[in-house]
Amino acid sequence: MLNKLSQFFMRRRNWSIPYAIFLLVFVVVPLVLIVAYAFTDEEGAFTLGNFRKFMMHPEAINTFIYSIGIAMITTIFCLILGYPAAYIMSQKQFNTSKTMVVLFILPMWVNILIRTLATVALFDFLKLPLGEGALVFGMVYNFLPFMIYPIYNTLQKMDQSLIEAAQDLGANPLKVFTKIVLPLSMPGIFSGILMVFMPTVSTFAIAELLTMNNIKLFGTTVQENIYNGMWNYGAALSLIMLLLIAIMSFFSNDEDSVQNESGGVI
């Protein structure tokens, strides 16, 4: 008996069983339930009425489009602020780069709701109104590390001999950056965009706190429908959001594959 148990645990593939069970219970089953609820009515009959309801509901469509717009603005701001920070931290001549990485990641150890409430307190202290500006600021503050770290990780692993070769061949700093550094850092940029855009589209607590519930995002619409017992319509909205995220992931993977095949240098 002991020999059989030891042989069982010695096989590497058997170590994946707990992870497979975890994925089945907490990933596969919830996704199957979302799809099942989205394509059924309250009596359990198959229907496309939940999706028709979304298409014929101008407020829901406008909220969906507005959420994508806020997510794009947040992602652009995070990229503009995050890339220079990641580039500076990746330079070996800066001895404090590891300290700076920790300082950027440190806020992530605090719960997102506490960070958002701190942002509300900051705006209240500065006598600034809560609204769309506070929403974008809070989004950027909460998700900026998700942009910085993938770019920093990519830049840090970059082959420095390519930069040295370009400099030896007479390339100026601008040309080195545009022809070597930027193309090689594209996988990190795409990962950062994906990691910022996805949670920004689906969030609802940040919008509720930073706008006093005056601005509604798509995540709020999903949450309200499920909270009010409209599981089928809420599941349909969730599925629409999941499809948007899946499309973004698909295009990101395509870009990364092309980047890796071309060696990253244009």
The average pLDDT across 169-180 equals 88
Please give the span between the terminal C-alpha atoms of the chain, in angstroms, as a whole number.
Answer: 60
Residue 1 lies in a domain: no
Q: Specify the residue for token string 């993977």.
A: 253
The average pLDDT across 72-92 equals 91
Residue 44 lies in a domain: no
Going by the DSSP 8-state scheme, the letter that residue 127 receives in this structure is T
Q: Which residues pair with 46 in a beta bridge?
A: 40
Q: Classify residue 210 by burial, with Cβ atoms within 10 Å: 0-12, 13-18, 19+.
A: buried
The average pLDDT across 45-72 equals 92
Residue 117 lies in a domain: yes
pLDDT, tens digit, 9 for 90 and up, residues 220-253: 899 889 888 899 999 999 999 888 888 877 766 5
pLDDT, tens digit, 9 for 90 and up, residues 3-33: 665 665 566 676 778 888 999 999 899 999 9
Domain of residue 80, residue span: 62-259
Q: Specify the residue for token string 């997510």.
A: 71
pLDDT, tens digit, 9 for 90 and up, residues 108-160: 888 888 999 999 999 999 999 998 999 999 999 999 999 999 999 999 888 88
Confidence of residue 261 (pLDDT cuts 50, 70, 90): very low
Residue 170 lies in a domain: yes
Q: Percent of the chain having pLDDT more than 90? A: 45
pLDDT at 140: 94
Q: How far, in Å, CA of 238 to CA of 260, rounded?
A: 33
Q: What is the DSSP string of 9-58?
A: HHSGGGGGHHHHHHHIIIIIHHHHHHHHHHTB-TTS-B-SHHHHHHHT-H
Name the domain count of the chain: 1
90: pLDDT strictly greater than 80: yes
| Phi, psi for residue 40 in degrees, rounded to 5 | -130, 160
The average pLDDT across 63-91 equals 92
Within its chain, how far is the Cα of 134 from the centroid? Answer: 20
| Residue with more model confidence, 259 or 64 | 64
Answer yes or no: are the C-beta atoms of 217 and 199 closer than 8 Å.
Answer: no
Within its chain, how far is the Cα of 258 from the centroid? Answer: 21
Residue 53 lies in a domain: no
CATH of the domain at 102: 1.10.3720.10
The average pLDDT across 93-115 equals 77
Residue 166 lies in a domain: yes
Confidence of residue 264 (pLDDT cuts 50, 70, 90): very low
